[in-house]
Amino acid sequence: MDARGDHAAICRHGFGVVHRHNTVRNLLARHAFRAAGLCCDLEVPSLLPNTANRPADILVQPASPPSGALPDRPTAYDVTVRSPYCRSTMSLAAKGLAGAAEAADLDKLRVHSRTVRDAFHLQPDSPLPLLDWHFVPLAFDTLGATSSRTMAVLEYLAHRIANRTYSSYGTAKIRLLQRISFAVWSSLASATLSRMPYHGAALSSPAQV
């Protein structure tokens, strides 16, 4: 039995990893971006030509620009939740609190660059073309840490939420981080429980109790 849920946090069999990703994605869309007054859509297709890749777990439209300013481009946020117990990130996680999240952030940027070059049939060392949207990874780890880039986005959203709800920035930030932590941990609990014997099924005989 995976008593501490470590294997459940990294196993790609079953629904655990996908369920955790979708849970965090949906929470961010509802309680972060939309709560901050930003319009967003999930899993938007056809952002890149010649590929079925969907770089935007959450595609967020820019806030209204100041009077006389040109509108910004939408931002494609790509959500990832990485366990620090993965073999590929364990050594990085040991060096710093957010090592796994920072590694996931860089991995997402590398994959995005490669995907864009492939979509436009560019050489590996060619500069990336200017797209109609920004790309930003949102990287978390299963112990609650985030990449520095992700934390900057969350702090920006907390400021907007605080202004909209007439609450303090500190309160808005804490509540947002608590929601994310709960989403990650509840999905981990579900993945762990799904691997327990007889989970979700009645015992067939009293002798098995």
Does residue 138 have a pLDDT over 80?
A: yes
Half-sphere exposure of residue 110: CA atoms within 13 angstroms, side-chain side: 6
Query: Which of 8-12, 65-69, 83-87, 186-190 has the largest mean confidence?
Result: 186-190
Scan for tokens 């500190």, then name that residue.
Answer: 170
Q: Are 146 and 88 in contact (CB under 8 A)?
A: no
Could you tell me the pLDDT band of residue 203, with boundaries at 50, 70 and 90? very low
Residue 184 covered by a domain: yes
**Count of residues making up the chain:** 209
pTM to 2 decimal places: 0.84
Residue 182 covered by a domain: yes
pLDDT average, residue stretch 107-123:
92
Does residue 64 have a pLDDT over 60?
A: yes
Residue 143 covered by a domain: yes
Residue 69 covered by a domain: yes
- Higher pLDDT residue, 10 or 74? 74
Does residue 182 have a pLDDT over 90?
A: yes
pLDDT at 208: 41
Residue 157 covered by a domain: yes
pLDDT average, residue stretch 34-41:
95
Which range of residues forms the domain containing residue 30? 16-196
Residue 203 covered by a domain: no
**Mean of per-residue pLDDT scores for the chain:** 83
pLDDT average, residue stretch 118-132:
90
Q: Are 108 and 29 in contact (CB under 8 A)?
A: no
Question: Which among 165, 134, 155 has a CA at the least distance from the CA of 35?
Answer: 165
pLDDT average, residue stretch 178-189:
89
Which two tokens mark 148?
A: 């520095």
Residue 11 covered by a domain: no
Could you tell me the pLDDT band of residue 117, with boundaries at 50, 70 and 90? very high
Could you tell me the pLDDT band of residue 66, with boundaries at 50, 70 and 90? low
Residue 101 covered by a domain: yes
Per-residue burial over 20-57, b = 16 or more CB atoms within 10 Å of its CB, e = otherwise: bbbbbbebbbebbbebbebebeeebeebbeeeebbbbb
Query: Which of 49-58, 169-178, 195-204 has the largest mean confidence?
Result: 169-178
Does residue 25 have a pLDDT over 80?
A: yes
Number of domain units in the chain: 1
